[in-house]
Chains A and B, each alone.
Chain A
Amino acid sequence: MTVERIKPDDFTKTPAAPAPRPNFGSAMIPKERYTSADYLRLEWERMWTKVWLLGCRLHDIPEPGDYHVTTIGKEEILLVRQKDGGVAGFYNVCLHRGNRIMAGSGHAETFKCQYHFWEYGLNGDFVNIPDLESFPQGAPPCKGLRAVKVDTWNSFVWFSLNPEAEPLRDYLDPMPEHLDPYHFDRMVKVMDVTAEWDCNWKTSVDAFNEAYHVQGIHPELLYFIDDRDVQIDLYGRHNRYLVPFATISERVTETTEIPHLIKHVMKEAGMDPARFDGRVTEVRKATTSCTITTTTTSSPTSR
């Protein structure tokens, strides 16, 4: 399906045109991709340790010394705001006995392992190794914590376990063109929810790549979105889908009254639903002063 952008000169300038459709065939997907430990291992070797991953938002660590610990697989990464305003990332592992150094998020002047008090600076360098003179071999030959690649885009902090990772911008292409106009840097996170599912990670990602489940899981949305006329675009590693909002599904019958969620959108767009004499199916085109499509992108993330 192709979604028609109702306002061609939309302020977001996010491309709406459909991308060429790759031919993936229509063979059944082997269930082993969801159940096999070997497949999971291959994903770790060839994907999770190679790609750029979302760590946190810059707003989560605004001041030098602010840190946030994120996880990917069995690894933990300590993301730290530096004195120069940049962000660095380290494996959250003490070089002495492999103990976890920090947990959660907060502010620190130094990172001190609570096992033997080995202490690291914000840049990961050794600051203090208690009784260093009693180690005949001296301090480990490295300078300190093992760093990972870190970069930022659009207020998000990204990291990669791959020392050879391409520049973040190249990796994200073409999503910045789609999402830069939304200015996430001007947005404030008001809720942070973690839901842990006992399933393969792709089970959850699959749900966010379709609107097919709306009739079963979110039937109330049948009176708010068009769940069938959805445009899915694939851009190599990334994808997006466009879902028309402020309209009703083909699965339900148009009503005399405007459904309440659509009324909310109309008000946000400066329209008075009480004075709108068009039909429910005409609201979308009438609401030209706001963005009515939502763009959802999918990309591997870490928690």
Chain B
Amino acid sequence: MDLDLRGMKAAVTGGTRGIGRAIAQLLAEEGCDIATFGRAPERVEAARVELSALGVRVHAEPVQGRDGAKVRQWMQASVAALGGMDLVIASLSAGGGTDEEGYWHRNFEIDLMSAVRAVDEALPALRQSRAPSVLVIATMAASETFVAPMAYNAIKASLITWSKQLSQKLAPEGIRVNCLSPGPTMFKGSNWEMIKVARSRIHDKVVRQQPLRRMATAEEIARAAVFLASPAASWCNGSHLLVDGGYSKRVAF
């Protein structure tokens, strides 16, 4: 199957580590130019070097995702640097926290608004694309009670709702919008890697819920994400794909 991605331009928020990084990698391997940002300058630089080595153009900046103006400027600069934009993958997340008020603001700005702002700034370029699409990365924890009530889970749920309704609005313009919810995912530097060592009981309990007794790899999430975002998924619009290895038990009739 040809994903038909060669020569496309893709923006991945939070593409310097974890799931976002794996998505950027796979897109670059498929021949996409990549724009991305992250918080840590050395990881931004590492991503730039590694992705460039695949022979694609790369625009990568260190940006704090809470800074709305910076996120918008990054997308503008990305469109200019790559000469357009075909795919927007909103992958940035602040991660979980507790139910304290500060985390609601944190996840609102970093998980939700960075996606809204990035898509908003990319729309003029997407309208010029031959096969534009938006993919929003949410979480299984939005639809499955998970660990504890917290802002992360609920704010991610709002991304699912927003992506569905955005897909209705943008479909007439040929812009597809989809959503993907990963289950617990393990990668180098992941929060789960930390929890496995620092709070092993929480980690072990989650793994016991997995039918395969392991967490996802970032690459397993990325393969599903890249398909959904690619022109090959031309009839996927407004869909919400749960990629959790069977963690959630409910039959979704």
Which residues of B from 40 to 56 have beta carbons under 8 Å from A? 40
Contact check, B105 vs A259: say whether CB atoms are below 8 A apart.
Answer: no
Contact check, B198 vs A254: say whether CB atoms are below 8 A apart.
Answer: no
Name the one of B40, B106, B194 contacting A274, with C-beta atoms under 8 angstroms. B106
Residues of chain B within 8 A (CB-CB) of A279 are 39-40
**B interface, how many residues as a size bin?**
20 to 34
Chain A 261-275, CB within 8 Å of chain B: the 1/0 string?
A: 100000000001111
From known contacts A254-B40, A255-B191, A257-B191, infer whether A274 and B97 are also in contact, taking CB-CB under 8 Å: yes
- Is A253 among interface residues, defined by CB-CB distance under 8 A? yes
CB proximity of A22 to chain B, nearest CB, Å: 36
Prevailing SS type, chain A contact patch: loop
- Is B174 among interface residues, defined by CB-CB distance under 8 A? no
Contact check, B194 vs A275: say whether CB atoms are below 8 A apart.
Answer: no
Q: Write the residues of chain A forming the contact surface with B, with a CB cutoff of 8 angstroms.
A: 219-220, 222-224, 252-257, 259-261, 272-275, 277, 279
Contact check, A259 vs B194: say whether CB atoms are below 8 A apart.
Answer: yes
Name the one of B64, B98, B102, B191 contacting A256, with C-beta atoms under 8 angstroms. B191
Further 19 A-B residue pairs, CB within 8 A, beyond A253-B188, A274-B106: A220-B197, A220-B198, A220-B199, A252-B193, A252-B194, A253-B189, A255-B190, A255-B191, A256-B94, A256-B191, A260-B198, A260-B199, A261-B198, A274-B100, A274-B102, A274-B103, A275-B102, A279-B39, A279-B40
> CA–CA, A272 to B191, complex, Å?
19
> CA–CA, A159 to B194, complex, Å?
46
Contact check, A254 vs B189: say whether CB atoms are below 8 A apart.
Answer: yes
Name the one of A222, A256, A273, A274 contacting B197, with C-beta atoms under 8 angstroms. A222
> CA–CA, A224 to B190, complex, Å?
16
- Is B17 among interface residues, defined by CB-CB distance under 8 A? yes
A to B CB contacts below 8 Å, 9 in the list: A220-B199, A256-B94, A257-B96, A257-B191, A260-B199, A273-B102, A275-B105, A277-B66, A279-B39
Contact check, B198 vs A223: say whether CB atoms are below 8 A apart.
Answer: yes
> CA–CA, A279 to B42, complex, Å?
12
Residues of chain A within 8 A (CB-CB) of B193 are 252-253, 255
- Is B93 among interface residues, defined by CB-CB distance under 8 A? yes
> CA–CA, A25 to B167, complex, Å?
72
Residues of chain B within 8 A (CB-CB) of A261 are 198
> CA–CA, A87 to B30, complex, Å?
80
Contact check, B188 vs A256: say whether CB atoms are below 8 A apart.
Answer: no
Contact check, A219 vs B190: say whether CB atoms are below 8 A apart.
Answer: no
CB proximity of A263 to chain B, nearest CB, Å: 8
Residues of chain B within 8 A (CB-CB) of A255 are 95, 189-191, 193-194
Closest residue of B by beta carbon distance from A248 = B194
Residues of chain B within 8 A (CB-CB) of A219 are 197
Residues of chain A within 8 A (CB-CB) of B103 are 274
Name the one of A223, A224, A257, A277 contacting B97, with C-beta atoms under 8 angstroms. A257
Closest residue of A by beta carbon distance from B98 = A274
CB proximity of A268 to chain B, nearest CB, Å: 15
Closest residue of A by beta carbon distance from B151 = A274
Closest residue of B by beta carbon distance from A254 = B189
> CA–CA, A223 to B197, complex, Å?
8
> CA–CA, A252 to B192, complex, Å?
12
